[in-house]
Structure 1
Amino acid sequence: MYLEIITPDENVFEGEVESAMFPGSDGSFQVLNDHAPLVSSVGKGDVKILRLHDKKTEEIHFSIDGGVVEVLNNKILVLAESIGE
């Protein structure tokens, strides 16, 4: 599935992923391939991405300061307020 994370200032991440975990407003949630359509707010916290890289699973983390996530047809779009350091 394809994931894109953008802020008002930059395109932070773009690429194929195996799964993504988000800090939802009411608790964290995970998105896997063929997930049902979804629109949700995300709170401040850690975004955890798993992707296959050179036949190995790679784990990537971003600290997000809130925003919105949309899941539709194996594409995840995250509109983040900002990405923390």
Structure 2
Amino acid sequence: MNLEILTPLGKTYSGEVIGVQLPGIAGSFEVLDNHAPLVSALKAGQLKILVEKNRNELYKIQGGFVEVLNNKVTVLVEGTEAV
């Protein structure tokens, strides 16, 4: 699936991934390939990108939103920082 992380300053991440773990306002959750459509608010916390089976990338994010539609995950946040 395709993941894009966008901030007011531009695109932080764009690429094919196998999953992403997100800090939702009601608790953390994971989005995997072929996930049902979803829109959710995000709180500040850690976002984990499952790039490959044994390779992850971590970002600290500020609050925002995520949209999952047609195997594309779009994360809109106030800011990001690679961990």
The TM-score normalised by the length of structure 2 is 0.94
The answer on 1:24 being equivalent to 2:18 is no
Q: State the partner residue of 1:64.
A: 61
Q: Bigger radius of gyration, 1 or 2?
A: 1
Return the TM-score normalized by structure 1: 0.91
Structure 2 gap segments, 5+ residues each = none
In structure 1, distance between residues paired with 2:32 and 2:38: 12
Question: Would you say 1:73 and 2:70 are equivalent positions?
Answer: yes
The CA RMSD measured in Å over matched residues stands at 1.1
- How many pairs were matched up? 82
Runs of 4+ in 1 over 6 A off after TM superposition: none
Q: Give unmatched runs, 5+ long, in structure 1.
A: none
What percent identity do the matched residue pairs reach?
49
